[in-house]
């Protein structure tokens, strides 16, 4: 079969694809327009890569017939919006990348039909809001990137069911505040990236149950103080980033205890109030 596309200089080209193909890539070809209609015949398709082009829009409806698709890559284009409706039929999808575009709004509702999705990359776009509630259906989620957007707020409640979540990136947004409570259910969380979010305060108490936490980045925010007491339970912690100017406090009862190394090394910065029992 022939998949036709137009490149940046106006020339129309095509690639020949066997209908038994499991991997179709047109990445990095300067494509500005592509007709995916023929791809509906690729019943064995596992990966479709349209990344690193100049697409401003793309009709994904033909891939609704490709129920075997596991990976869909659309990063590094010029998309300002995208209709994900066709993805509701892709029950095997485990990877969706839409990073480095110009997406201002996105409806994730079709991802309710993708219970196996593990990786969702939405970073480096222009999102001001995003409704994560459809992700409560995707219990396999491991990596979620929302960093480098214009988010004014984000409700993490849907992630309470993401027991396999390992990495959550929220850096470089405009959040003001954030409620981490839903992450108390994410016992496999290894990295939480909140650098330059604009937050004035953050309650780390939910992280007390995140025993696998390795990296926590709170640098370049507006916090007046941070209570690090909950991090005493994060014995695997390898890196804790916070501005030198931010006062840190911890429960006096833990003053003589040995903390995870990144915290132990900055204990001289702590002040130690006695918390009520």
Asked if residue 193 lies in contact with residue 218, where contact means CB atoms within 8 angstroms, the answer is no
Average pLDDT over residues 83-87: 98
Alpha carbon distance 152, 261 (integer Å): 34
Asked if residue 257 lies in contact with residue 233, where contact means CB atoms within 8 angstroms, the answer is no
Exposed/middle/buried for residue 234 (C-beta within 10 Å: 0-12, 13-18, 19+): buried
| CA distances for 198 relative to 4, 56, 152, 153, 174, angstroms | 45, 30, 9, 11, 5
Give the pLDDT band of residue 130 (cuts 50, 70, 90): very high
Average pLDDT over residues 214-223: 97
DSSP H or E run through 261 = helix 261-264
Alpha carbon distance 263, 71 (integer Å): 39
Q: How far is CA 96 from the centre of its chain?
A: 10
Asked if residue 98 lies in contact with residue 127, where contact means CB atoms within 8 angstroms, the answer is no
**3-class state of residue 269 by DSSP:** helix
Q: Is the pLDDT of residue 115 over 80?
A: yes
Residue (of 152, 157, 158) closest to 177 by Cα position: 152
Beta carbons within 8 Å of 156's beta carbon, 6+ residues apart: 132, 178, 179, 180, 181, 182, 183
Question: What percent of the chain is predicted at pLDDT more than 90?
Answer: 95
Question: What percent of the chain is predicted at pLDDT more than 70?
Answer: 99
Average pLDDT over residues 148-160: 97
Tens of pLDDT along 186-209?
A: 999 999 999 999 999 999 999 999
Average pLDDT over residues 83-112: 98
Q: Is the pLDDT of residue 128 over 80?
A: yes
Prediction pTM value: 0.95
Asked if residue 151 lies in contact with residue 172, where contact means CB atoms within 8 angstroms, the answer is no
Give the pLDDT band of residue 277 (cuts 50, 70, 90): low
Neighbours of 20 (CB within 10 A): 10
Task: Report the pLDDT value the prediction gives residue 205, as an integer from 0 to 100.
Answer: 97
Give the pLDDT band of residue 14 (cuts 50, 70, 90): very high
Q: Report the mean per-residue pLDDT for the chain.
A: 96
Task: Report the pLDDT value the prediction gives residue 139, as an integer from 0 to 100.
Answer: 84
Average pLDDT over residues 23-44: 96
Alpha carbon distance 38, 76 (integer Å): 24
What the chain holds in terms of domains, given with CATH numbers, is 2-196+214-219 (3.80.10.10)
Asked if residue 96 lies in contact with residue 117, where contact means CB atoms within 8 angstroms, the answer is yes
Alpha carbon distance 108, 97 (integer Å): 13
Q: Is the pLDDT of residue 274 over 80?
A: no
Residue (of 196, 198, 238, 202) closest to 219 by Cα position: 196
Alpha carbon distance 263, 30 (integer Å): 48
Neighbours of 245 (CB within 10 A): 7
């Amino acid at each position: 079969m022939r998949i036709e596309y137009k490149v940046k200089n106006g020339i129309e080209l095509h690639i020949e694809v066997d209908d038994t193909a499991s991997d179709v890539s047109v990445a990095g070809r300067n494509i500005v327009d592509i007709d995916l209609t023929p791809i509906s015949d690729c019943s064995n398709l596992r990966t479709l890569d349209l990344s690193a082009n100049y697409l401003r829009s793309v009709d994904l409806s033909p891939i609704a017939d490709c129920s075997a698709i596991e990976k869909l890559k659309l990063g590094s284009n010029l998309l300002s919006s995208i209709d994900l409706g066709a993805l509701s039929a892709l029950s095997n999808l485990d990877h969706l990348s839409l990073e480095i575009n110009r997406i201002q709004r996105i409806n994730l509702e079709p991802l309710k039909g993708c219970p196996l999705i593990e990786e969702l990359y939405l970073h480096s776009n222009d999102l001001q809001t995003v409704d994560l509630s459809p992700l409560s259906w995707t219990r396999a989620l491991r990596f979620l990137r929302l960093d480098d957007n214009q988010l004014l707020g984000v409700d993490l409640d849907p992630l309470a069911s993401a027991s396999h979540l390992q990495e959550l990136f929220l850096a470089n947004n405009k959040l003001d505040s954030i409620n981490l409570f839903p992450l108390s259910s994410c016992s496999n969380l290894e990295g939480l990236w909140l650098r330059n979010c604009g937050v004035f305060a953050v309650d780390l108490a939910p992280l007390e149950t995140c025993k696998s936490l390795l990296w926590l980045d709170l640098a370049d925010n507006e916090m007046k103080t941070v209570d690090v007491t909950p991090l005493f339970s994060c014995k695997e912690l390898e890196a804790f980033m916070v501005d030198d100017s931010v006062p840190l406090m911890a429960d006096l009862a833990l003053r003589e205890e040995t903390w995870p190394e990144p915290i132990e090394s900055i204990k001289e910065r702590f002040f130690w109030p006695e918390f009520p029992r």
